[in-house]
């Protein structure tokens, strides 16, 4: 592997490790909040929301 390929592999490994470190509860919280997020976007007519 060349230096660029080594850097890409290292980045991929670091990203995979960081992703796997995220708790499942985080994804559950985000999924549970989606109805509120969608309602906020509709209320804001597509503009900015607090999310």
The pLDDT tens digits of the residues spanning 21-30 come to: 999 999 999 9
Question: Considering the entire predicted model, what is its pTM?
Answer: 0.60
Mean pLDDT across the chain: 94
pLDDT for 3 equals 84
* pLDDT-derived band at 50, boundaries 50, 70, 90: confident
Residues 4-28, mean pLDDT to the nearest whole number: 97
Q: How far is CA 24 from CA 5, 7, 21, 28, 31, in A?
A: 31, 29, 9, 6, 11
Asked if residue 49 is part of any domain, the answer here is yes
Domain total of the chain: 1
pLDDT for 1 equals 63
Asked if residue 30 is part of any domain, the answer here is yes
- What domain range includes position 34? 24-51
Asked if residue 10 is part of any domain, the answer here is no
């Amino acid at each position: 592997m060349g230096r660029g390929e080594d850097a890409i592999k290292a980045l991929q490994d670091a990203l995979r490790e960081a992703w796997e470190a995220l708790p499942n509860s985080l994804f559950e919280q985000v999924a549970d909040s989606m109805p509120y997020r969608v309602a906020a976007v509709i209320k804001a007519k597509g503009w900015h929301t607090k999310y």
